[in-house]
Amino acid sequence: MEIFNIENLTFTYPEQAEAILKSLNLTVQQGDFIVLFGETGSGKSTLLNMLKPELAPYGEKTGLIQYKGTNLEKIETRVTASEIGFVMQNPETQIVTDKVWHELAFGLENLGVPAPIIRRRVGEIANFFGIHHWFRKKTTDLSGGQKQLLNLAAIMVMEPKVLILDEPTSQLDPIAATNFINILEKLNNDLGLTIILVEHRLEEVLPLANQVVLLEDGHVLVKDSPQNIGDKLLKVNTLHPLFHALPTAMKIYHGLGETGESPLTVKDGRQFLSTYSQRDAKELYAESTRKNPEQEVAIELKNTWFRYEKDLPDILSGVHLKIHRGEIISILGGNASGKTTLLNVMSGQNKVYRGSVSINGKNIKKYKGNELYSHNLAVLPQDPQTVFLKSTLREDYKEIAKVLHFKKEKMERLIGDISAKLSITDLLDKHPYDLSGGEQQKAALGKILLLQPRIILLDEPTKGIDAFAKQTLLTILKDLQHQGLTIVNVTHDVEFAAFISDRVGLYFDRDMVSIDTPVEFFSSNSFYTTAASRMSRHVFKKAITYEDVIQMAEREKRELIP
């Protein structure tokens, strides 16, 4: 049975010359698990929103969307509200009540379901999702992973026929993201629930799908099974930018010149790599590449303590940390572990009550006015919308000229250069809030770069951006490092951290419990590590990226050939 049938769907936002969706055709069958991916701005979120009438954007639409054989626009709101579930990217935006139990009951109450049935359904769903342990908690006290789990449970309690998710794990740490994805697999397998998922992190979701769809420039470029999507993508374009989005096992498989159905999971990848080496594991790196500890220090925290209120527990507890000039350091950790608070302490937004924070050898308390932030330190916050003030991105960028006293000609040149680097030139005359999540992230980074700081603090910079944009960001940050900038990267993206970092640390139990080179850090972890490391450590020690594995596998293959 068809759940959705989309025929020749074209959609254009108001005051936009070009359509975001262009003659798009797609069929979704009952019980499907479909993963959609594509570059930022390819139309993924627009398509998902159009499948949920309550979220459908305003604009010019042609073509047809049918739900169970009926025009979606003619279906009663009560039906679409209950049968088409939607989980958004940001857990905060979907929660509407103050208590967990009330959030679970809220949708059923609005549908007029009798109270005894509400209690039964809420009890059942709370037990299924393991929410019963925090059933009476305030929603504001939940971690990011718990909030997103609550959003999913609040949808599932209404017993939907289809579940639509727009990058639901983008703000979750690796362990919370894995738990969330495992629940989606159970819902699809045990309940036969139809799932349509947009996700940039394909490592864990692609093996669950029965169909994978690549959107490009508003239409379906490739649709196939997960095992074949890599082969199909390379046949369309051997240098396609979204090849980097594929799971590590697929990138290694095709990177070694193999064709046809590819391995998907770490387990499959381990079996495939075993064919390249029958000997003991070899070390890829003989020596550590740790930064010289004698380098000049850009940021230093000495015995720092911080709490939000006097009677609340400490978030920082005697933290000691040195970050060297020209270094890129990544900080990992669970949701609500205190990573963002640590970043805010470095930027002076949170004031420690004990210890000291120094920026470029000067105590942060001695910076006057805007001295700390004028060509010195800049912060990209977790929510990119908070950096925008004007009605267009161009006006927002020009506002910086007033702060830094740039001449008009210089400002125009800088805006042109940075927007070209980030591939956002065509977004400059749009309202920042009309951009997709990934576009907002790139636009916010552009505003930070216009400030020309010496130190950049990044809070989840890869959130919501596609694999190609991530590669662009990596190149930009490396270029900035070569210019002498210091970069602190708080992230859940372990793969990005492995590529970008000079050192990586884990923030846990109110302190930095481990800081080491990426090679040493990731090769000694089992969970906070890369897929490449988990996949290859039985044959190649200390290989932490898929490029490392390909390099070592090719070397082993040459040695095995007589």
Q: Which residues contact 439 (CB under 8 A, 6 or more apart)?
A: 40, 41, 424, 427
Domain housing 432: 328-344+369-530
Q: Do residues 285 and 162 share a domain?
A: no
Neighbours of 325 (CB within 10 A): 17
Query: Which range is least confidently modeled, 19-28, 426-435, 481-490?
Result: 426-435
Burial code (b: 16+ CB inside 10 Å, e: under 16) for 376-415 equals bbbbbbbebeebbeeebbbebbbebbeeeebeeeebeebb
Could you read off the pLDDT of 320-330 as tens digits, one per residue? 999 999 999 99
Q: Beta strands 2-12 and 60-67: pairing type?
A: antiparallel
pLDDT for position 408: 83
Element holding 84 (H helix, E strand): strand 84-87
Neighbours of 113 (CB within 10 A): 16
Q: Do residues 373 and 443 share a domain?
A: yes
pLDDT for position 277: 65
Query: Is residue 358 domain-resident?
Result: no
Q: Do residues 398 and 479 share a domain?
A: yes
pLDDT for position 133: 86
Q: Do residues 407 and 507 share a domain?
A: yes
Could you read off the pLDDT of 158-193 as tens digits, one per residue? 999 999 999 898 878 778 888 899 999 999 999 999
Q: Do residues 180 and 258 share a domain?
A: no
Phi and psi torsions of 197, nearest 5°? -125, 125
What secondary structure letter does DSSP report for 202? H
CATH number, position 43? 3.40.50.300
Asked whether residue 125 carries a pLDDT value surpassing 60, the answer given is yes
R_g of the chain computed on alpha carbons? 24
Q: Closest Cα partner for 47 from 198, 181, 188, 152?
A: 198
**Residue 444 in contact with residue 388, Cβ under 8 Å?**
yes
At 26 the three-state DSSP class reads strand
Helices (H) and strands (E) in the chain, counts: 19, 22
Q: Do residues 379 and 454 share a domain?
A: yes
Q: What is the model's pTM?
A: 0.85
Query: Is residue 417 domain-resident?
Result: yes
Q: Do residues 97 and 50 share a domain?
A: yes
Q: Do residues 171 and 228 share a domain?
A: yes
Query: Is residue 409 domain-resident?
Result: yes
Q: Do residues 116 and 50 share a domain?
A: yes
Query: Is residue 363 domain-resident?
Result: no
The tally of CA atoms less than 13 A away on the side-chain side of residue 478 is 12
Query: Is residue 503 domain-resident?
Result: yes
Q: How far apart are CA 403 and CA 9, in angstroms?
A: 45
Query: Is residue 304 domain-resident?
Result: no
Domains contained in the chain, number = 3
Could you read off the pLDDT of 327-340 as tens digits, one per residue? 999 999 987 789 99
**For the chain, percent of residues with pLDDT exceeding 90:** 59
At 158 the three-state DSSP class reads coil
Query: Is residue 295 domain-resident?
Result: no
pLDDT for position 466: 79
Could you read off the pLDDT of 465-475 as tens digits, one per residue? 878 888 888 98
**Residue 541 in contact with residue 284, Cβ under 8 Å?**
yes
Phi and psi torsions of 485, nearest 5°? -75, 150
Q: Do residues 225 and 78 share a domain?
A: yes
At 490 the three-state DSSP class reads strand
pLDDT for position 289: 46
pLDDT for position 162: 97
Could you read off the pLDDT of 275-333 as tens digits, one per residue? 766 656 666 654 444 444 447 999 999 999 999 998 889 999 999 999 999 999 999 99
Q: Do residues 144 and 218 share a domain?
A: yes
Asked whether residue 259 carries a pLDDT value surpassing 60, the answer given is yes
Asked whether residue 352 carries a pLDDT value surpassing 70, the answer given is yes
Q: How does residue 196 score in pLDDT terms, banded at 50, 70 and 90?
A: very high
Average pLDDT over residues 505-526: 92
pLDDT for position 373: 87
Q: Do residues 217 and 125 share a domain?
A: yes
pLDDT for position 399: 85
pLDDT for position 285: 57
Longest dimension (CA), the chain: 76
